[in-house]
Amino acid sequence: MVAHIKTIKSISSSFYYNERKLISGDATCMMAENYPCQLAELTQSDRLGMLEKMAALNPRTKVNGLHIFLNFDPANRLTPYSLKEIAKFYMHGIGFGNQPYLVYEHSDGAHPHLHILTTNIQADGRRINLYMKADRFQSLLKQIRTRFALTTSTAVKDSGLALYQAQLLKPTYGKSQTFSGIAGVLDRKLNEYLFSSFAELNAILGLYNIRAERGKEGSKLFKNRGLIYRLLDGAGNRIGVPVKASSFPFNPGLNKLEERFKRNVPLKLGLEGRIIYEIERILNNPQICDTAAFSASLKTKGIDVVIKDDPKGELQDMIYVDHLNTCAFQGAALGSAYGAKGILSRLGDNGYPALEFEKGQGLHAGELDDGLPGAGVSAAINLSQIRSEQDRPVIPVVKTQRKGQRRKYRVKH
């Protein structure tokens, strides 16, 4: 079992994401816990209204919701009753057992998984602070595995992708509709993965033959801050007619993406630990002596490696997509030793033909700098190793006014 918690500012956004899955038949609402009525008696507005009314009791708290993902090994044949009991045990374990929460079972992946939506604002208006160390989360998961006899199959142990990478079909030009194919991937991946730049976003989308583009600098599309999505063929070349971001009902446009970049930066803190651990473990293996073996070894751990090159085709960076913790990191952000040149130097390999890479302007086109830190905290499960403090990215600290000064400010205005 793998768990992931995302703190959110918009409860309604996550709610309607799950409700759309209900409409499409890819999910079932299993529970409405601590609601005044039974689930069968609640309408859609009732389910959302309860959470939003609770969140509104503390208007000063902007990050007032949790979107929790519980993933299970396909080897476990879990009944609806077992899934409900696991959800209850988990929510009590993290201190949210008395909060109203919704539990959705999704059936659109290769493994069973639950989505749980709740608020961190209590009935008295006080906020629940979710500050649990990784070892306490690990202890909770161990209790669940023991209590409910959860197992991990050999296939999943041998291949991280078997469980952690979503088994979405790649849209193929001529075999599937361009619009619906791109929409299906975007609707799911933009909500599942944490990314903080266009390079990282396109590394994720590229695994599904899709690329986001702003157009060339100076073009009408670029000047108007437009964004298009297009299909790629097996070699990473553009194919077919592009689709404007504004054409999709959820509008994954430039403004929305830039908001995500900023919001995802603090949520990614700590998630780099597993990637670094797996890289070091692989590089310490004397049998790994080229990029092909390096890429293949990481892939078995649920981590894809994507090469980023500049317009001249020169090697620029590696991007790691971790499907277990659903996040992407540029190699340079992890440290010079984990960028493309650092990895090639340590392998003694001067080429990289075996690795997947984006051609032309794919990853660097319209690329933005990494976003600034925003509000929110992420609790990530199954971190193998965290970097030392001196290696962590430096996050600017903003000095705030004293409490008395804030009070005067409010009275003045």
pLDDT digits 0-9 by tens, 11-46: 998 999 899 989 888 899 999 999 999 999 999 999
Q: Given a cut of 70, is residue 6 above it in pLDDT? A: yes
- pLDDT at residue 388 in the model: 36
Cα separation, 21 vs 16, whole angstroms: 8
pLDDT digits (tens, 9 = 90+) for 244-270: 898 887 889 999 999 999 999 988 888
Share of the chain above pLDDT 90, in %: 36
Q: Given a cut of 50, is residue 102 above it in pLDDT? A: yes
Q: Given a cut of 50, is residue 48 above it in pLDDT? A: yes
pLDDT digits (tens, 9 = 90+) for 176-209: 677 878 888 888 888 889 999 999 999 999 999 9
- pLDDT at residue 374 in the model: 31
Q: DSSP character for 218? A: T
Cα separation, 345 vs 247, whole angstroms: 44
Higher pLDDT pick, 309 / 199: 199
Computed over every residue of the chain, the mean pLDDT equals 78
Please state the rounded mean pLDDT for residues 234-245: 83
Q: Given a cut of 60, is residue 360 above it in pLDDT? A: no
Q: Whole-prediction pTM value?
A: 0.51
How big is the CA angle at 305 (ends 303 and 311), to the nearest 5 degrees?
Answer: 155
- pLDDT at residue 277 in the model: 92
Q: Smallest Cα–Cα separation from 172: which of 110, 236, 234?
A: 234
Q: Given a cut of 80, is residue 109 above it in pLDDT? A: no
- pLDDT at residue 121 in the model: 95
- pLDDT at residue 313 in the model: 62
The answer to whether 201 and 253 are in contact (CB under 8 A) is: no
Q: Given a cut of 90, is residue 57 above it in pLDDT? A: yes
- pLDDT at residue 55 in the model: 95
Token representation of residue 320: 């790691």
- 143: Cβ contacts below 8 Å, ≥ 6 apart: 89, 93
- Reading across the β-sheet that carries 2-8, which strands appear in turn? 27-33, 101-106, 113-119, 65-71, 2-8, 379-380
- pLDDT at residue 180 in the model: 79
Domains and CATH numbers, the chain: 2-156 (3.30.930.30), 159-377+385-413 (no CATH)
Q: Smallest Cα–Cα separation from 4: which of 379, 386, 385, 383?
A: 379
Please state the rounded mean pLDDT for residues 324-353: 81
Please state the rounded mean pLDDT for residues 343-349: 79
Q: Given a cut of 90, is residue 2 above it in pLDDT? A: no
Beta strands in 146-244 (DSSP E): 210-213, 228-232, 238-244
Q: Given a cut of 50, is residue 395 above it in pLDDT? A: no
Which of 23-27, 85-89, 168-172 shows the highest mean pLDDT? 85-89
How big is the CA angle at 140 (ends 137 and 141), to the nearest 5 degrees?
Answer: 90
pLDDT digits (tens, 9 = 90+) for 58-72: 999 999 999 998 888
Cα distances (Å, whole numbers) of residue 389 to 161, 269, 286, 386, 392: 30, 12, 29, 9, 5
411 exposure class (CB count in 10 Å sphere: 0-12, 13-18, 19+): exposed
